[in-house]
Structure 1
Amino acid sequence: MKEKKTEPRIFTIADWEKEERYLRKRHQEGWKFLKVSLPGFYHFEKCAPEDMVYQLDYNEEGLKHKDEYVQMFKDCGWEYLQDFGGYSYFRKPVSEMQGEEEIFCDDESRLDMMRRVFAGRYLPILVILMLLILPNLIAQFHSSDADAPILAALFLILLAIYAWAAVSFGYRYWKLKKRLEK
């Protein structure tokens, strides 16, 4: 039986909760997460099945003071795994937890992380969209070149992907904000 395996998976930057559940499920099945690498390859090692909670945190300020940042989580029993795509990966066995323990103590903390993700990831994407994709898309619609329809289709696909990611993120942000207002 193979002792290591790699699985391709794509999670958007707003899908950190899905990614956490995915990693937890794999560990429960006996596959310990080792690392994630581009373009979305998740590397695992065979292990004894165990209920392990995985948590992701997006904190660029924390990464500027990485030693203190990682130590803070270590002091609370979380094992630091890696940084990837702006997120820091942590895990902790459920057997060592006291109730429903998370690195975010409340929804306000989660909302704050979502604001950091928006500022660090979505704003640059929005700039790319406005400065590169939209002008090129418009240019292709006005072009008489033979390859213009193909390029226009590619730019439309990129636009649709960016729009879907932004709407998905916005919806999650809105839901969390509504939950806080109750």
Structure 2
Amino acid sequence: MGRTVKKFRPYTVDQFEEEQQYFEEMSSKGFHFVKYKFPFYQFNQGEPGDYQYQIDFQNLDESNKESYLQLFKDDGWEFIMEYGGVYGTWFYFRKPKSADESLRIFTDTDSKVELYGKIRRNWAFYFIFLFLVTMVPNFLLGDSFTSILLYVMWLIIAVIYAKITLRLTFKIRDLRRSEI
């Protein structure tokens, strides 16, 4: 194996498909994804390869994780890593590309809608939690410089969460419309 390269790419949870595409492009250049630690991706340099990558979001307990990973292994997917997220875990997989795109994890409308809905729901709960933990005490403290900074920070977070929620909602809507 060649050298290790770290790349800065701040994707949000609604951009996991773009993230998969990025990994595929990097593999075609000989840089294979091995690790993620926000917001850096680590790649090992090797021979260029034609791989497809899949990212899945699951709420699994330890007793279900082993059978979940085995299911993908049995289907030819190489487990790369897991990354604990908000109320769930992101699982990263890869396998050599084939002409048959149906070998991807999420190919039908229902499974994609379910995945987008699960991500949207979990992040909405986290958003509410953040609001309760940060803003409710802030309202009680009154108007201080710290309060103003917290309002600004909260506004930025709210805009990011609104973008994520809207983008996932539009993906779900578009998938449902394409079924008709």
> TM-score over 0.5 for the alignment?
yes
Structure 1 residues 166, 126: CA separation in 2 closer, same or farther (over 3 Å shift)? farther
1:124 partner amino acid: Y
Question: Where do 5+ consecutive residues of structure 2 fail to align?
Answer: none
How far, CA to CA, are the matches of 1:134 and 1:166 in structure 2?
A: 20
Structure 1 residues 164, 135: CA separation in 2 closer, same or farther (over 3 Å shift)? farther
Structure 1 residues 151, 66: CA separation in 2 closer, same or farther (over 3 Å shift)? closer
Post-superposition shift, 1:139?
Answer: 6.5
2:117–2:168 contact (8 Å) kept in structure 1: no
1:137–1:155 contact (8 Å) kept in structure 2: no
1:53–1:91 contact (8 Å) kept in structure 2: yes
RMSD, aligned CA: 2.3
- The residue aligned with 2:78 is 79
- The residue aligned with 1:99 is 100
2:138–2:147 contact (8 Å) kept in structure 1: no
Structure 1 residues 148, 69: CA separation in 2 closer, same or farther (over 3 Å shift)? closer
1:62–1:69 contact (8 Å) kept in structure 2: no
Q: Percent identity?
A: 25
Question: Where do 5+ consecutive residues of structure 1 fail to align?
Answer: none
Aligned residues: 174
2:106–2:112 contact (8 Å) kept in structure 1: yes
- The residue aligned with 1:31 is 31
Structure 1 residues 134, 172: CA separation in 2 closer, same or farther (over 3 Å shift)? farther
Post-superposition shift, 1:134?
Answer: 4.9
How far, CA to CA, are the matches of 2:138 and 2:170 in structure 1?
A: 26
1:27–1:52 contact (8 Å) kept in structure 2: yes
Q: C-alpha offsets along residues 115-142 of structure 1, whole Å, 9 cap, x if unaligned?
A: 222333332223423x2455467668x6
Structure 1 residues 137, 146: CA separation in 2 closer, same or farther (over 3 Å shift)? closer
Note the 1:1-182 alignment, pairs <5 A. 3-37=3-37, 39-61=38-60, 64-84=63-83, 85=85, 86-94=89-97, 97=98, 99-100=100-101, 101-129=103-131, 131-135=132-136, 143=143, 145-146=144-145, 148-180=147-179, 182=180
1:5 partner amino acid: V
How far, CA to CA, are the matches of 1:89 and 1:62 in structure 2?
A: 17
Post-superposition shift, 1:148?
Answer: 4.6
What's the secondary structure of 1:49's corresponding residue? coil
TM-score computed with the length of structure 2 as normaliser? 0.83
How far, CA to CA, are the matches of 1:61 and 1:55 in structure 2?
A: 17
How far, CA to CA, are the matches of 1:60 and 1:152 in structure 2?
A: 31
